[in-house]
Amino acid sequence: MAKTGLNETFEGLFFREDGLMTEVGRTPPAELLRETRKELLEHLKAVGKSGDLNTILAIERSFLQNDLDRHANSTAMTNSLKAALAELDAAEALHKKVQDPAAYKATDDDHSLPRNRVGSLPKDQARQFFSSHAARLLSQDKSRLEPEEKSLVDARKANMRAGEKVYAALQREALGIEAKSAKGRDRGMGL
Amino acid sequence: MPKSYLTEADKAGMSENCVFLAESHAAYKAGDHEAEWAWLAKAELPAHALRAAKRRNGADWIRAKGLRTETAERAYGKDWLERDI
C-alpha cells in the first residue's frame, strides 16, 4: 500500500498520543485518581440505593456544578450543563411541592392531557428532568472517557432512574393513586 | 541512539518510555522524521495502537517501521502480524 506523507504524520501522532496516554495512566497521581473515582462510585451507588431523593438530587447538582466550573470547555457543553442545572432547580421545587397534596393538585391539573401524563401520573418538570437528564448522561457514555469516569456516569444515570421511582411514588401518594393500579402503566422513562 | 532533541532538564522526571515518546515528538517538531520514527521504534507502544496501525497500513508496514511489538504479542498472540485481527 502506497503511503503519503500525510498518513505517516498521522501514524506518528497517533502512536505518540496513545503511548503518552498510557504513560500518564502509569503515574502515581493517575493511580490515585482511579482509586478515588472507585471510592466515589461506591458512595454514589449507596446514595441511589438509599432512595433519599434530596441527597440524590444534591449529589447530581454537585457533579453538574463541578463540570460547569471546572470542565466546561465548549459553548455546547456549557449550555447543556446550564440547562441541566435549570431543570434540576425545577425538579427540586417540585419535590417540595409533591409532598403537599393540596399544592400539587395544581400541577396535576396543568398536566391533564394524555400526552402530559406518564401512565396515570403528571409528566411534570421533575419527571422531565429525570428522563432528559438520563438521556444526557447516556450521550456522555458514548464519549471518550476513562473507564472509571464511565462507571460514574453509569451510576449517575442509575440514580436518575432510582430518583424517578421515588418521585413517582410521591406523586401517587399526593394524588391518592394506589401503587398497584399504577403498576404496569407507569413504566417510567425506560432508559 | 537516534539523534536527541531534548536536554537533560527536558527529560527530568520522565520514565524511560516517556523520554522515547518525548524525543519522537521533539524530532517531529524539528522536521526530522527519521529520528521521529527511530525514537518511536524504541518506545513500548500500546497493543491497541499497534493493531489499529496494522489494520490501516498492513503487517509489512509495521515490520518496515521496526516497531517494538511485544505488547501486541502479549495481547493478541505471537503471530498477531500474520493473522487477521
The pLDDT tens digits of the residues spanning A53-82 come to 999 999 999 999 999 999 899 999 999 999
Q: What does each C-alpha distance from A173 to A18, A48, A168 come to in angstroms? A: 54, 21, 9
Could you tell me which residues are beta bridge partners of residue A122? A117
Q: Backbone phi, then psi, for A122, in 5-degree steps?
A: -60, 135
- Tell me B82's DSSP state: T
User: Hey, how many other C-beta atoms are within 10 angstroms of the C-beta on A21?
Assistant: 13
Measured CA to CA, the distance from residue A92 to residue A167 in angstroms comes to: 11
Contact B52 A14 (CB under 8 A): yes
> What's the start-to-end Cα distance of chain B, in Å?
33
With an 8 Å Cβ cutoff, is A31 touching chain B?
no
Amino acid code (one letter) for A94 = L
In this structure, what C-alpha cell is assigned to residue A73? 470547555
pLDDT in the model for residue A184:
47
- SS3 percent helix, strand, coil of chain A, rounded to 5, is 80, 0, 20
Nearest CA in chain B to A12: B37
Residues in A closer than 8 angstroms to B35, CB to CB, are none
Over range B22-30, report the average pLDDT: 97
Pairwise CA distance, residues A21 & B48, whole Å? 12
Q: Please say whether the beta carbons of A3 and B58 come within 8 A.
A: no
Show the CA angle centred on residue A111, arms to residues A102 and A184, nearest 5°: 95
pLDDT in single tens digits along all 191 residues of chain A: 445 556 899 999 999 999 999 999 999 999 999 999 999 999 999 999 999 999 999 999 999 999 999 989 999 999 999 999 999 999 999 999 999 999 999 999 999 999 999 999 999 999 999 999 999 999 888 888 999 999 999 999 999 999 999 999 999 999 999 875 444 445 555 44
pTM (predicted TM-score): 0.81
Tens digits of residue pLDDT in B36-85: 999 999 999 999 999 999 999 999 999 999 999 999 999 999 999 999 98
Which residues does chain B have within 8 Å of residue A21's beta carbon, measured at their own beta carbons?
A: 46
Contact B69, B62 (CB under 8 A): yes
DSSP state at residue A69: I
CB contact under 8 A, A19 and B21: yes
Judged by a CB distance cut-off of 8 A, whether residue A7 touches chain B is yes
For the CA atoms of chain B, what is the radius of gyration? 14
